[in-house]
Amino acid sequence: MASIFSLVTGKRGPSGFGSATTAEEVTEGIDASNLTVIITGGASGIGAETARVFALRRVHVIIAVRNIEGANNTKKIIIKSNPAARVDIMKLDLSSLKSVRAFADNFLATGLPLNILINNAGVMFCPFQLSVDGFEMQFATNHLGLPFYLILEEYFCHFYLTNLLLENIKRTAKETGIEGRIVNLSSIAHLHTYEGGILFDQIDNKARYNDRKAYGQSKLANILHARELSRRLKEEGANVTVNSVHPGVIMTNLMRHSFPMMKVIQVFTYLLWKNVQQGAATTCYVSLHPSITGVTGKYFDDCNEVKPSILASDEKLAKRLWDFSEKLVKSTE
């Protein structure tokens, strides 16, 4: 993991960038006018900043969100400062597999290519609840993309969304000769999860639910998903990379379920916090920077590759999670 010294001082790492680097800085000089990106949850926070910077670099940006009104406001702000920006908005509710399927069908029907997929949307430290598909929300949203008890839901939704769009990404890369990139937003919180990493047998057990550990579980799932998908794509020779990133600690709407507590913590740890421009930097770096070409299955923090936890590096755990996720998704179709 990135050192506290580097985080506080903004000291740059091997990439030439560090914790104080902004998204505009890491993409300076890049003309990506031939690329199309989907960003989930791009209506606010680091998702909105990522969308703005991608549009600034002339990428065709598709913002996939539940909050259409918020996304339209973000689009207006982007276009006001950049009239040539190409930004479209599409409905996507990551607490519903049905919505994920509908979004994928609608996007594929446009005939657009897809070069980059950024699985950005998520929830954090929410009370125990189930998604519409009956899954714990954080796991379902952060990983599967189905309705699991609010924290795992994001994982399942993104797992499902990625699978539905994968053939388009691979085909685009093959036809254009431009490497496809998939980026999962994870977190340093993946270090704080349940014993063994994933509660496979008790994923929807309310009695075992702990909001912090459930969030860590979903973020661990994001890294394991990137690792296993990367392995599979390399095995088949696809020109697509998959990496995960920790954006840093930023006060955004993601913390809406624990805002008072996080404000107190922020007072005592203010030197460790990033602004939104800095928070979007690692995502933009891994998505667009030419130095990352061919790099896959890795984890990035402060725009530099770092080692995640032992559990996040466990290939057997990654494969087990993949098989588990596939089974859960199929059970709801």
Domain of 100, CATH number, reads: 3.40.50.720
* pLDDT > 90? residue 234: yes
For residue 223, is it within any domain? yes
For residue 36, is it within any domain? yes
Residues 6+ apart with CB under 8 A from 256: none
Count Cα atoms within 13 angstroms, Cβ side, for 69: 0
Query: To 5 degrees, how large is the angle CA 94–CA 190–CA 153?
Result: 20
Which of 288, 292, 249 is closest to 61 using CA atoms?
A: 288
CA 330 – CA 333 distance, rounded (Å): 5
pLDDT of residue 157: 81
pLDDT of residue 129: 45
How many residues can be counted in the chain?
Answer: 333
CA 239 – CA 227 distance, rounded (Å): 15
Segment 118-138 shows an average pLDDT of 54
For residue 273, is it within any domain? yes
Residue found by looking up tokens 């199929």 in the block: 330
For residue 14, is it within any domain? no
Q: What do you get for the CA distance between the two ends of the chain, in Å?
A: 38
β-pairing, 299-301 with 304-306? antiparallel
Query: Which residues are tagged catalytic?
Result: 209
For residue 13, is it within any domain? no
CA 22 – CA 27 distance, rounded (Å): 9
Number of domains in the chain: 1
Print the domain residue range for 227. Answer: 22-332
For residue 126, is it within any domain? yes
List, for residues 201-223, the tens digit of each pLDDT value: 766 666 677 778 888 888 999 99
Which of 194, 195, 226, 183 is closest to 315 using CA atoms?
A: 226
3-state secondary structure of 152: strand
For residue 4, is it within any domain? no
Ranges 34-48, 168-182, 269-283: which has the least confidence: 269-283
Please answer whether residues 129 and 174 qualify as being in contact, where contact means their C-beta atoms are separated by less than 8 angstroms: no
* pLDDT > 70? residue 56: yes
Burial of 175 (0-12, 13-18, 19+ CB in 10 A): exposed
* pLDDT > 60? residue 258: no
For residue 211, is it within any domain? yes
Residue 156: CB atoms within 10 A of its CB come to: 37
CA 239 – CA 267 distance, rounded (Å): 45
